[in-house]
Amino acid sequence: MTNAEREAATATALVAAAKAGDSRAFEALVRRYRKRIYALALHIVGHASEADDIAQEVFLKAYRALGTFEGRSQFFTWVYRMTVNRSLNARRDRARRGEDVLEGDPRVELAVAVDARDNPSLAAELRQTYGRLLRALDSLPADMRTTVILVSLQGLSHGEAGVVQKVSDGTIAWRMHEARRRLHDAMAPSKLSRKRELSADLARVLMEYGLPIVGKA
């Protein structure tokens, strides 16, 4: 049995126990997936407190609707879909209010904190570079941006991302190809004031917390 199969089997057993009234089983599901759900919301909305609120709302909604969950998809794809929908709605609400999604973006600040290492001039440079990268990511069409987040940043397969977004594997593959092309173009050396290689530490953190490494297939 693969790790993915073991993960699915464990989640299925916990869902069955939770539906039978075992509150500890649902708590185990929350512990198992909350970090990923929070990260998914953060990738989309770009604000830590809002992402935390969304994660709480999603699990509350999942708990209340657990009796209607028929298991046709895996539990995590079910809550992922809830998270995507709620996060996109929150992002649209922010846009209608004219708020800048990138203002104080924790994704940028985390990357800068790791790589600048108390170097103010380098921090200023990196803040500009990674702000540019996130603006490029955030400028993608909503469906394409969500696909990048699910596949490149959350590690879902094309099939799993297709289930979450209710599209075919082929659509997911096309979106990823086109998104990589657009991000690579936006971050081309000719469009940046200076090209830097990523440190090993920063590369690790970017992959863990959701900043795509441009040029990585």
pLDDT band at 130 (very low <50, low <70, confident <90, very high): confident
Residue closest to 137 by CA, chosen among 209, 194, 211, 41: 211
Whether 89 and 44 have beta carbons less than 8 Å apart is answered as no
Dihedral sign (CA 110, 115, 117, 119): negative
Residue closest to 109 by CA, chosen among 210, 41, 215: 210
Residues 6+ apart with CB under 8 A from 170: none
Q: Which helix (H) or strand (E) holds 161?
A: helix 158-165
- Give the separation between CA 94 and CA 101, rounded to whole angstroms: 7
Question: pTM for the full model?
Answer: 0.75
pLDDT in tens, 173-207: 999 999 988 888 877 764 544 444 444 544 554 55
Dihedral sign (CA 34, 42, 73, 5): negative
Question: In percent, how much of the chain has pLDDT > 70?
Answer: 81
Q: What is the pLDDT of residue 191?
A: 52
Whether 67 and 39 have beta carbons less than 8 Å apart is answered as no
- Measure the CA angle with vertex 182, ends 177 and 188; round to 5°: 125
Residue 175 burial by CB count (10 A; 0-12/13-18/19+): exposed, middle or buried? Answer: buried
- Give the separation between CA 13 and CA 29, rounded to whole angstroms: 10
- Report the mean per-residue pLDDT for the chain: 81
Residues 6+ apart with CB under 8 A from 168: 162
Whether 10 and 25 have beta carbons less than 8 Å apart is answered as no
pLDDT in tens, 6-51: 888 898 999 999 999 898 999 999 999 999 999 899 888 888 889 9
DSSP-derived letter for residue 21 is T
The residue behind tokens 């009796």 is 67
Reduced 3-state DSSP string for 88-118: HHHHHHHHHCCCCCCCCCHHHHHHHHHHHCC
Q: What is the pLDDT of residue 51?
A: 92
